[in-house]
Amino acid sequence: MENRIYNFSAGPAVLPEEVLLEAQKEFFSLPGVGMSILEISHRSKTYDAIHQEAKEGIKKLLNISDDYAILFLQGGASLQFSMVPLNLMPPKNKADFIINGSWGKKALKEAKRVGTVNIAANMESVKFKRVPKQEELNLDPDAAYVHFTSNETIEGVQWHNEPEVGNIPLVCDASSDILHKKIDVNKYALIYAGAQKNMGPSGVTLVIIRKDMLERSQDSLHTMLNYKTHVENDSLYNTPNTFGIYIIKLVTKWLSNLGGLDAMYEMNKKKALLLYDCIDQSGGYYIGHAEKESRSLMNVTFNLATPELEKKLIDEATKAGFDGLKGHRSVGGLRASIYNAFPLKGVEDLVSFMRDFQQRNG
């Protein structure tokens, strides 16, 4: 088999090798079925079992109660930027947004088309280097909901505790840190996440919605844009991304075999600490973007003294088998995405590489 290299891509991103191998083994013919997952009807018994196992896997890992529906939708997290306000803003037609990075800004843009948006905090003034402090939040107690982004993938800034929002329903874009640790889902009215960062391939989006929120979805909404449609049809109103959901099933099984999300979280902290220690111990050679208390465990963003030196490092790293370290085009610098499936050994090897690079180019 071809050797694999280290994949630091921000998304679509690395998947567990065990999952890839299992999918490969079953790809030609699902055991006992004689057809590929790509070929079977989404109305078949075989597919239904996969669909339920994927849902059940998410439900168990995050300890989600029956008050919530678990959906697998399409259109990416980006479609949720529209679906959330279309469904949840009425009848008040006003919502609070906490902006701590680029994705939050994109979500905000769509919400503004639906109603009035109050910016509860905007961290652009500090270059999205940290999330706001609780006392910096300017919340409207009468807002239909508060939206925040738990991990800003581009800037590498993460909330380590949810904002406290009292009785206002909390909505979270968790695209790049879903399943990286246990969270208390009961604190949320809705969580959404594109699968392609920490959960599966692109083309499927997880939505966890508290069922009482569905009362807000008006019948005048387009059928496909109405959460009620998808809850009532168990995400099978139209043809779902059957292959993507199958991979999510395998990923949730991989996570629970590993010891669940507490074990995953310990591993994630260990990996991130290795890399941040390398940055902090470099005497300013590597400059971390995020402030310490807001550092992301998933996307480690940093700079070198000049763009030329950054390019040199990226070029050499690519040759050495470390792919995807270039920062997002909007912010530059470097970004190492080290999601759940990224191996510890890959982080250790990158740290050795970075220390060696500094020695040679310091």
Ligand X SMILES: *Cc1c(COP(=O)(O)O)cnc(C)c1O
* Shortest Å, Cβ 113 to ligand X: 17
Nearer to ligand X, 245 or 304 (CB): 245
Nearer to ligand X, 338 or 354 (CB): 338
Neighbour count for residue 125 (Cβ, 10 Å): 7
User: Segment near ligand X (CB under 6 A), from 29-37, 59-67, 74-82, 137-145?
Assistant: 74-82
- 3-state SS assignment for residue 107: helix
- In the shown chain, the binding pattern of residues 1 to 20 toward ligand X, with x for contact by CB under 6 A and - for none, equals ----------x---------
Helix (H) or strand (E) holding 303: strand 299-303
Identify the residue among 7, 87, 100, 153 touching ligand X (CB under 6 A): 153
**What letter does residue 67 receive in the DSSP assignment?**
T
Residues 158-197 that bind ligand X (CB under 6 A): 173, 175-176, 194, 197
Nearer to ligand X, 194 or 333 (CB): 194
**Binding residues for ligand X, how many (CB under 6 A)?**
12
* Shortest Å, Cβ 327 to ligand X: 14
Q: Which residues contact 283 (CB under 8 A, 6 or more apart)?
A: none
CA 133 to chain centre: 22
Nearer to ligand X, 178 or 264 (CB): 178
Identify the residue among 37, 77, 213, 272 touching ligand X (CB under 6 A): 77
Q: What is the C-alpha to C-alpha distance for residues 87 and 104, in angstroms, rounded to an integer?
A: 18
Residue reference for tokens 């800004």 = 105
Q: Name the token pair of 296.
A: 């992301």
First to last CA, the chain: 38
Calculate the dihedral angle through the C-alpha atoms of 96, 102, 108, 109, rounding to the nearest 10 degrees. Answer: 160
Q: Name the token pair of 26.
A: 């079953």
Identify the residue among 12, 76, 90, 343 touching ligand X (CB under 6 A): 76
296 binds ligand X, rule: CB under 6 A: no
Q: Which residues are catalytic?
A: 103, 173, 197
294 binds ligand X, rule: CB under 6 A: no
Nearer to ligand X, 180 or 197 (CB): 197
**What letter does residue 186 receive in the DSSP assignment?**
G
* Shortest Å, Cβ 329 to ligand X: 14
Residues 86-145 that bind ligand X (CB under 6 A): 103
**What letter does residue 126 receive in the DSSP assignment?**
G
Contact 123, 99 (CB under 8 A): yes
Sequence-ordered strand ranges (E) for 182-273: 190-194, 205-210
Nearer to ligand X, 40 or 189 (CB): 189
CA-only gyration radius of the chain, Å: 21
Residue reference for tokens 């999205």 = 128
Q: Which residues contact 313 (CB under 8 A, 6 or more apart)?
A: 304, 325, 334, 354, 357, 361
Identify the residue among 9, 46, 78, 256 touching ligand X (CB under 6 A): 78
* Shortest Å, Cβ 242 to ligand X: 18
* Shortest Å, Cβ 214 to ligand X: 23
Applying CB under 6 A, which residues contact ligand X? 11, 76-78, 103, 149, 153, 173, 175-176, 194, 197
